[in-house]
């Protein structure tokens, strides 16, 4: 235990040194918000990767992989192909160039200036500020569960202490501090996960033998999961069964596509000085992500075999039904002591790198985008309101972290990713590529996508509508789809992610309204396209 | 294939590796490609580490 604490303090010492270095180099708003637009490609790629991959991906989705098995590998594929390749090559370069032409400092500011609309910037800033704490809380729960299992510290004490440490360097240091610490933390995570996959495959006799053992474990799949449509961990699920819809529409589609419109990731494209740094970031990112989510999902699924061999129970039974505890318990019960320490520090790193970016983007969304630009309070705000925004984001995250139920990490993450996709993705993508995209098209698409997503969340998608209770209060049922004929398309909607509906609605609204509404001023479009 | 019962999920496993390899190849081929440069971009581009720094 003493060794664990000494190593944890040493790790925190390095983090605070890098945070201090970032703070020393932060002199103006562009430093605080964009790291001076001169970030090293390795730091940018590791920061993007470490922000993208958090305890949510490793502990939350790793736990989901223990429950659902290899179908989650489709999410790893999307994480790499969409989250790195398409994101950097087709979104990143144009975002960087247009962001520079429009002197945008944040993702909402890029949107606002592309459409020459304070409403667009303020609305985007408000959505991010209001809902990023839910995603941040998922990450916070992940690390707090790891500290609880790994160090034996009370869950709520871990939650409060971790937030306190983070607040110190995010509020003061800005994006430079965040990105320097990210790069260090990303490197630590990479080493940790590489060891984990090698050890797990070695433990189970190699790649094919390990997978075969998991295939043979299918009869142990719990009856409740079988009733929902699961066939086995390497067999997948019955197409269009309730659990198939949860896996493919919420976990894979929601997160896999939602990554393209993540404000805390999009802002990183604007921190580099050249396209060639984004090209290099594709290489670093492609390696980093497969070692992160690929390993987490494979090990999560294979933990069933290891637990069954050692304890005669599958993973979810060992964790007492809370899938957020599966990966921490696998590490503490199966891996050697020295690795447990490394993993704990790696999880510190994964949580800190993501949370710091979430807090930073929450603060800039309130301070710069909503208050300063959306509300037109220019000149009186500056970094003060942004720093206050960071503080409020941290506080709201803490409240969500204290009250969200167990087994929530993957779902809370998917909620934010999906909401961002439905609200921002069509206006963002079309804004980068289509001069015919209009201000009215962007506003209707963003508001329509958000409203559709929220309507389905409150009244149709049972997972949330039953928990929120508004549908029950108004209509007397948990979901408007609950009374439909079992197996019909309308009945299946209660298991289908809201954004399967909301994203296409948002896209159609963007195209149709832009087609019929007043075109943007040619001079303004020339400015937007100046560097493209 | 590879001990994975479902061909669809075996394909997912292979595509993960293929996507990662695609990123590596793209990064190597485009390592020094700055794309088309306007005057504004050229000024900023000078701040990026060049071939001499690799």
Q: What whole-number distance in Å separates Cα of residue A126 and Cα of residue A123?
A: 5
Report whether A322 contacts A314 (CB < 8 A). Answer: no
Which sign, positive or negative, has the C-alpha torsion A267, A270, A271, A277?
A: positive
Q: Do B48 and A100 touch (CB under 8 A)?
A: no
Residues for chain B: how many in total? Answer: 54
Whether residue B54 is contained in a domain is answered as no
Q: What whole-number distance in Å separates Cα of residue A189 and Cα of residue A15?
A: 14
- Residue B51: pLDDT band (50, 70, 90) is very low
Whether residue A493 is contained in a domain is answered as no
DSSP string, A292-314: IIIHHHHHHHHHHHHHHHHHSS-
- CA B35 to chain centroid, in Å, comes to 15
Structural domain for A8, as ranges: 2-421
Q: What is the chain B residue with the closest CA to A94?
A: B35
Q: What whole-number distance in Å separates Cα of residue A421 and Cα of residue A370?
A: 20
- Residue B53: pLDDT band (50, 70, 90) is very low
Q: What whole-number distance in Å separates Cα of residue A271 and Cα of residue A263?
A: 13
Interface probe for B, chosen from A37, A276, A284 (most Cβ of B below 10 Å), is A276
Whether residue A55 is contained in a domain is answered as yes
Q: Which of A73, A212, A285 sits opposite B16 (nearest CB)?
A: A73
- Exposure string for B18-45, b = 16+ CB within 10 A, e = fewer: ebbebbeebbeebeeebbeeeeebeebb
Find residue A236's DSSP bridge partners: A232
Q: Do B30 and A273 touch (CB under 8 A)?
A: no
Whether residue A521 is contained in a domain is answered as no
Whether residue A409 is contained in a domain is answered as yes
Structural domain for B33, as ranges: 7-48
Q: What pLDDT is recorded for position A30?
A: 59
| CB neighbourhood size of A382 (10 A) | 14
What is the pLDDT tens value at each position of chain A, 532 positions in all? Answer: 677 778 777 777 887 687 777 766 665 565 655 555 556 667 777 777 887 788 788 889 999 999 999 999 999 999 999 999 999 899 999 998 899 899 887 899 899 989 999 799 999 998 998 898 988 998 888 888 878 888 788 888 888 888 887 786 666 666 667 777 778 878 888 988 989 999 999 989 999 999 999 999 999 999 989 999 999 999 999 998 999 999 999 889 888 989 899 887 888 788 777 887 788 889 889 998 999 899 999 999 999 999 998 889 899 999 999 898 899 989 988 888 788 877 888 887 788 778 888 887 898 888 878 877 777 764 545 667 777 888 889 889 988 888 788 777 887 888 898 989 999 999 999 999 999 999 899 999 999 999 999 898 889 988 788 888 889 898 888 898 988 887 888 788 888 889 889 999 999 999 999 988 998 988 899 889 988 7
A511 and chain B in contact, CB less than 8 A: no
Q: What pLDDT is recorded for position B17?
A: 95
Taking the CA of residue B16 and the nearest CA in chain A, the distance in Å comes to 5
Q: Which residue has the tokens 């103006």?
A: A28
Whether residue A245 is contained in a domain is answered as yes
Chain B segment 29-48 residues within 8 A of A by beta carbon are 30-35, 38, 40-41, 44-48
Q: What whole-number distance in Å separates Cα of residue A346 and Cα of residue A188?
A: 6
The first and second tokens of residue A50, run together, are 């470490």
Domain harbouring A307, CATH code: 1.20.1730.10
Q: What is the chain B residue with the closest CA to A301?
A: B4
Contacts of B17 in chain A (CB under 8 A): 290
Q: Do A71 and B49 touch (CB under 8 A)?
A: no
Q: What pLDDT is recorded for position A179?
A: 74
Whether residue A433 is contained in a domain is answered as no
Whether residue A431 is contained in a domain is answered as no
Q: How many domains does chain A contain in total?
A: 1
Q: How many domains does chain B contain in total?
A: 1
The first and second tokens of residue A417, run together, are 């990713």
């Amino acid at each position: 235990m003493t060794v664990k604490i000494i190593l944890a303090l040493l790790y925190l010492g390095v983090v605070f040194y890098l945070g201090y270095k970032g703070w020393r180099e932060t002199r103006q708003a562009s430093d605080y918000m964009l790291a001076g637009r001169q970030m090293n490609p390795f730091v940018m790629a590791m920061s993007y990767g470490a922000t993208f991959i958090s305890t949510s991906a490793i502990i939350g989705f790793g736990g989901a992989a223990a429950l659902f098995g290899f179908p989650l590998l489709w999410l790893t594929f999307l994480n790499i192909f969409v989250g790195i390749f398409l994101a950097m090559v087709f979104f990143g370069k144009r975002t960087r160039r247009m962001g520079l032409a429009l002197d945008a400092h944040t993702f909402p500011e890029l949107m606002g200036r592309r459409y020459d609309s304070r409403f667009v910037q303020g609305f985007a800033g408000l959505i991010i500020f209001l809902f990023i704490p839910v995603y941040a809380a998922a990450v916070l729960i992940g690390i707090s569960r790891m500290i609880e299992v790994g160090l034996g510290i009370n869950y709520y004490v871990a939650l409060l202490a971790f937030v306190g440490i983070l607040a110190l360097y995010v509020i003061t240091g800005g994006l430079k501090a965040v990105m320097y610490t990210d790069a260090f933390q990303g490197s630590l995570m990479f080493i940790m996960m590489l060891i984990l996959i090698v050890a797990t495959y070695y433990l189970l006799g190699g790649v094919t033998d390990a997978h075969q053992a998991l295939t043979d474990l299918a009869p142990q799949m719990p009856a409740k999961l079988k009733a929902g449509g699961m066939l086995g961990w390497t067999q997948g699920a019955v197409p269009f069964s309730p659990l198939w819809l949860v896996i493919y529409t919420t976990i894979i589609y929601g997160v896999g596509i939602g990554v393209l419109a993540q404000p805390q990731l999009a802002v990183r494209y604007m921190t580099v000085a050249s396209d060639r740094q984004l090209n290099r970031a594709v290489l670093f990112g492609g390696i980093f992500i497969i070692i992160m989510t690929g390993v987490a999902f494979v090990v999560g699924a294979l933990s069933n075999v290891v637990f069954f061999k050692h304890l005669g129970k599958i993973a979810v039974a060992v964790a007492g039904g809370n899938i957020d505890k599966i990966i921490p318990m696998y590490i503490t019960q199966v891996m050697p002591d020295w690795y447990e320490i490394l993993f704990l520090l790696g999880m510190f790193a994964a949580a800190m790198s993501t949370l710091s970016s979430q807090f930073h983007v929450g603060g800039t969304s309130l301070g710069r985008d909503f208050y300063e630009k959306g509300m037109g309070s220019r000149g009186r705000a500056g970094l003060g309101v942004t720093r206050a925004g960071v503080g409020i984001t941290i506080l709201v995250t803490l409240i969500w972290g204290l009250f969200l139920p167990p087994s929530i990490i993957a779902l809370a993450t998917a909620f934010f990713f999906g909401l961002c996709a439905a609200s921002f993705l069509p206006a963002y993508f079309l804004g980068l590529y289509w001069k015919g995209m209009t201000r009215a098209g962007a506003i209707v698409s963003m508001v329509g996508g958000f409203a559709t997503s929220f309507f389905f969340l409150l009244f149709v998608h049972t997972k949330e509508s039953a928990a929120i209770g508004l549908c029950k209060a108004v209509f007397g049922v948990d979901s408007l789809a609950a009374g439909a004929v079992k197996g019909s398309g309308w009945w299946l909607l209660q298991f289908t992610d809201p954004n399967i509906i909301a994203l296409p609605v948002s896209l159609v609204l963007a195209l149709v309204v832009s087609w019929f509404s007043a075109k943007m001023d040619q001079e303004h479009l020339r400015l937007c396209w100046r560097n493209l | 294939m590879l001990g994975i019962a479902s061909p669809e999920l075996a394909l997912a496993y292979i595509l993960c590796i293929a996507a990662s390899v695609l990123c590596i190849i793209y990064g190597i081929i485009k390592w020094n490609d700055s794309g088309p440069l306007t005057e504004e971009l050229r000024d900023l581009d000078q701040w990026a580490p060049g071939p001499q720094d690799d």
